[in-house]
Amino acid sequence: MTDNHSHLPPNLRKASEFKLRTKLRELLKDGNFLHATLNERSRVCGKKNCKCASGERHEGLYLVTKRDGKVRQLYVHPDFHDDVRQWVANYQVLQQLINELSEISWQRVADREM
Ligand SMILES: [Zn+2]
């Protein structure tokens, strides 16, 4: 999805736009979206007899994002790791699709073919 749609001739641009809209529609229909960064951390808890003392560190997954100018983070329960990773990925795809459609609109204005 790294094609540069903005420099396509108008007929190809239409086909490209159609593909983008189709993908967007599919994603909107079934996907959940999460605008955040995933932050994986492993740590040692400090208890002498814990498994982490022999190298098996505790894994933690956190969501990090900004809201109202403040960074906030959220611990993700292991049961939700797969879903949350998918939601974050969905958001990124969604954003990219919208950006590409925006580029097409930009070019349409530039070419005066509304
Ligand atoms: Zn431990």
pLDDT tens, residue order, the chain (114 aa): 445 555 677 778 888 999 999 999 999 998 999 999 999 999 888 899 999 999 899 889 999 999 999 999 999 998 999 999 999 999 999 999 999 999 999 998 998 887
Distance 80 CA to ligand 1 centre (A): 21
108 in Cβ contact with 9 (< 8 Å) = no
Distance 37 CA to ligand 1 centre (A): 25
For the chain, the structural domain boundaries read 5-111
Backbone angles phi, psi at 45, to 5 degrees: -80, -20
pLDDT of residue 64: 97
**pTM, to two decimals:** 0.77
pLDDT of residue 13: 83
pLDDT of residue 34: 97
Neighbours of 41 (CB within 10 A): 11
**Which protein residues have their CB within 5 A of the ion that is ligand 1?**
45, 50, 52
Distance 54 CA to ligand 1 centre (A): 9
Distance 73 CA to ligand 1 centre (A): 22
Distance 77 CA to ligand 1 centre (A): 17
pLDDT of residue 5: 54
Distance 108 CA to ligand 1 centre (A): 58
What's the number of CA atoms in the CB half-sphere (13 Å) around residue 54? 3
Nearest to 58 by CA among 72, 73, 78: 78
Nearest to 38 by CA among 89, 111, 96: 89
pLDDT of residue 113: 82
